[in-house]
A and B are shown apart, each in its own frame.
Chain A
Amino acid sequence: KQEVTQIPAALSVPEGENLVLNCSFTDSAIYNLQWFRQDPGKGLTSLLLIQSSQREQTSGRLNASLDKSSGRSTLYIAASQPGDSATYLCAVLDGAGSYQLTFGKGTKLSVIP
């Protein structure tokens, strides 16, 4: 059974700092890995999707990398802003006939002005 772990559970940084969020998964036979953002009481917003054949994806100040063989992904946020404060969730799609994403518990990020 796939398990996804996110470390740290919470992170507080001063505005302007670059930061890295970590995600690990136990079964490397995945189709894709997705990073989402969730604001309190809201749904999830898709940030980046990395296909299994890709190593990284970039969108603005966000860069996500994928090392499938080691079961790891990182989300790099450059020049953090208070508006980046949210919970960031990592999820993997195992495929093999299944359409379900397996999520980690998330990292709660606070960017202090």
Chain B
Amino acid sequence: DTGVSQDPRHKITKRGQNVTFRCDPISEHNRLYWYRQTLGQGPEFLTYFQNEAQLEKSRLLSDRFSAERPKGSFSTLEIQRTEQGDSAMYLCASSPGHSSAYNSPLHFGNGTRLTVT
């Protein structure tokens, strides 16, 4: 169990550029979640995958945001035409599929910190 891995750890970009983040969940975890956290706030849910299927998306996930999990393993989160308000920590989490999704604790990665200048 190597934990949830996120890459890169930090990303600085200029407004208007596109960025992509990667998340590698714990192996054999078929559930994967993306959250966003700004300073002094709790994480906010963005989206949820079970295997390769994106089953839930938050209203926070505007058209500029897209997430994929093509083979049910790693996932990518892309932000197009970044805005300064996108500056935040983007957190990925996974949980095992052998128990109910409603009662499985989430395992979080250390996040990708995005700064939009």
> Given that A31-B102, A32-B102 are known contacts, is A99 also in contact with B56, CB under 8 Å in the complex?
yes
Interface magnitude class on chain A: 20 to 34
Within the assembled complex, what's the spacing in Å between the Cα atoms of A4 and B44? 12
Q: How far is B106's CA from A45's CA once the two chains are assembled, in angstroms?
A: 8
CB proximity to B under 8 Å, residues A41-95: 41-46, 49, 51, 89, 91, 93, 95
B25 at the interface (CB under 8 A from A): no
- Bound CA span A96–B61, Å: 20
Q: Is the CB of A99 within 8 A of B101?
A: yes
B102 touches A95 (CB 8 A): yes
The 8 Å CB contact of A101, one of B31, B103, B106, B111, is B106
Residues from chain A with Cβ under 8 Å of B56 in the complex: 98-100
Of the 9-residue stretches B14-22, B35-43, B67-75, B80-88, which lies at the interface with chain A? B35-43
B110 near A91 (CB under 8 angstroms)?
Answer: no
Q: CB distance B103 to A46 under 8 Å? A: no
Q: How far is the CB of B110 from chain A (nearest CB, A)?
A: 5
Assess whether B42 is in contact with A43, with CB atoms less than 8 Å apart. no
Q: Which among B40, B106, B110 is the interface contact of A46 at CB below 8 angstroms?
A: B106
Q: Which of B44, B107, B108 gathers most chain A CB within 10 Å?
A: B108
- Chain A residues near B117 (CB-CB < 8 A): none
CA distance A78 to B54 in the complex (A): 41
Interface 1/0s, chain A 95-109, versus B by CB < 8 A?
A: 100111111111000
Pair A34/B42 contact, Cβ less than 8 Å = no
Chain A contacts for B45, CB-based, 8 A: 100-102
CB of B63 to closest CB in A, whole Å: 19
Which of chain B's residues 75-113 have a Cβ closer than 8 Å to chain A?
91, 93, 101-103, 105-111, 113
Instruction: Give A contacts to B, CB under 8 Å.
Output: 4, 31-32, 34, 36, 41-46, 49, 51, 89, 91, 93, 95, 98-106
Pairs A–B under 8 Å by Cβ, sample size 18: A31-B102, A31-B103, A32-B102, A42-B110, A43-B91, A43-B93, A44-B93, A44-B108, A46-B106, A51-B103, A93-B102, A98-B56, A99-B56, A100-B45, A100-B48, A100-B56, A105-B41, A105-B42
